[in-house]
Structure 1
Amino acid sequence: MAKTTSFATFLIIGPTCFFLGILFSSFPYDYNVLWTTPSDRDAYFRILEDHIKFLYASPPIISRILHIAIGTGLIGFITKLYKPSEANMLFDGASLVLYMAGVTVYITNIVKGFKVVTAGIYGNVEPMEGDEVSPDDYISREDTLRVFAASNTILALVLVGVLVLQAGQWYALRKEEAEIVEMDRLAEEKKKAGKKKQ
């Protein structure tokens, strides 16, 4: 059972670290859009926009590998949560919630951001007859790119949370094993002391 749990943990940690690596490689693009105010800010928006378009135009094998990695992580959670212990329910349940939150951010913000940026349809709203469209009714190019960059940051924080929970579970299990060994040792000493008295 311990080997199965270890392998399932590997199936969770591997894809999580893989995603963090992808997000880290996007961090130089996101950093200048979110946290700095350089003099030529538009240049950084163009760089991020070109980066997003390049990623979206990548061969289909790239997105397939990414989706296989997502599925691998889910298989790891299903394996660990099959006939779960109390520790699995707490740590793996919370990890699964964070993982699914990350998948949701990926689908709703990042994939949608890829499509919007590649199509270049920021705020190109065609009003219906009789509709009044104000500038607040659509998202501008800068705001779209900021949302995309912020989604990457949120996703990275969520994935770090998954790793922290998995590390917490590992620590709790090791601590429990050490306590059990110590209790067994004390029980054995008491038995020996009782035999000597007889």
Structure 2
Amino acid sequence: MDPSKVSIFKTYEKPKGSRDSSSFATYMIIAPTCFFLGMLFSSFPYDFPLLWTSDVTPDAYYDQLETHLKFIHASPPIIPRILHMAISIGFIGFFIKLFKPSEANLLFDGASMVLYLIGVVVYITNIVKGLRIVTLGKYEAPPGTTEPAIGREDSLRVMAASNTILALVLVGVIVLQVGQWYAERKEQDEIESFEGKQAEKTAKKAEKGNTHVTRSASKKKA
């Protein structure tokens, strides 16, 4: 392995305490992300007939879906508070990891944070807004506005598509975090392998030096 590459690795090598905090911050990112994916998976049975089948969806299904979404929107305040706390935990994890950024942080954590922000934007602009529209039952555009009119079926399909987009974004966050862990693990293995080889070379040189000194001393005695 090229020693210049090892010097680069050592430049970005983190202290042990920093690695522990980084690992904890990674858990703070992955845990909320998996939590959100679980919520989206629970909505998949409702979204599947709207997006992934070519069969005609009966009107009774839309009525049932509307009831389900109204029930979610009318949930107690503790439910959205827990959700927002989980979102905040993810952001805190990103801030901890990017407090002292390295090359790996800027590449993996920076991209992960961008995807996380996109997910929050989709949640606020599409899902929260869609829940309010469903609760009010006002699918048509208000009078005197230039907004395009979207019916009930199209509005519910937009919400289902938003759930799918959000799920893909969150999967991207997990993939990037796993990729960062693999890259750091591979880098550490290469550093340890190079240091082991260097230690073996040093030990062999020392052994040869001791052998040479012993032979010289024995010649002098003779």
Q: TM-score, normalised on structure 1?
A: 0.93
Question: What is the aligned partner in structure 1 of residue 186 from structure 2?
Answer: 175
1:97 matches 2:108: no
Q: TM-score, normalised on structure 2?
A: 0.83
RMSD of Structure 2 on Structure 1 (CA) = 1.5
Measure the CA separation in 1 of the matches of 2:167 and 2:126: 14
1:49 matches 2:66: yes
How far the C-alpha of 1:193 sits from its partner, in A, is: 1.5
Q: Which residues in structure 2 correspond to 1:54-65 (within 5 Å)? A: 54-65=71-82
1:95-144 Cα distance to aligned partner (Å, 9 max, x none): 0000000000000000000000110001153248xxxx8xx931111110
Question: What is the aligned partner in structure 2 of residue 33 from structure 1?
Answer: 50
How far the C-alpha of 1:50 sits from its partner, in A, is: 1.4
Question: What is the aligned partner in structure 1 of residue 171 from structure 2?
Answer: 160
Structure 2 spans left out of the alignment, 5+ residues: 1-17, 210-222
Measure the CA separation in 1 of the matches of 2:56 and 2:33: 36
SS for the counterpart of 1:137 is coil
Structure with higher Rg: it is 2
Relative to 1, partners in 2 of residues 1:40 and 1:172: Cα closer, same or farther, differing over 3 Å?
A: closer
Question: What is the aligned partner in structure 2 of residue 147 from structure 1?
Answer: 158
Pick from 167, 186, 189: which aligns with 2:197? 186
How far the C-alpha of 1:47 sits from its partner, in A, is: 2.2
SS for the counterpart of 1:38 is coil
C-alpha contact (below 8 Å) 2:130/2:155 kept by paired residues: yes
Structure 1 spans left out of the alignment, 5+ residues: none
Segments of 4+ moved more than 6 angstroms: none
Measure the CA separation in 2 of the matches of 1:7 and 1:16: 14
Amino acid across the alignment from 2:167: A
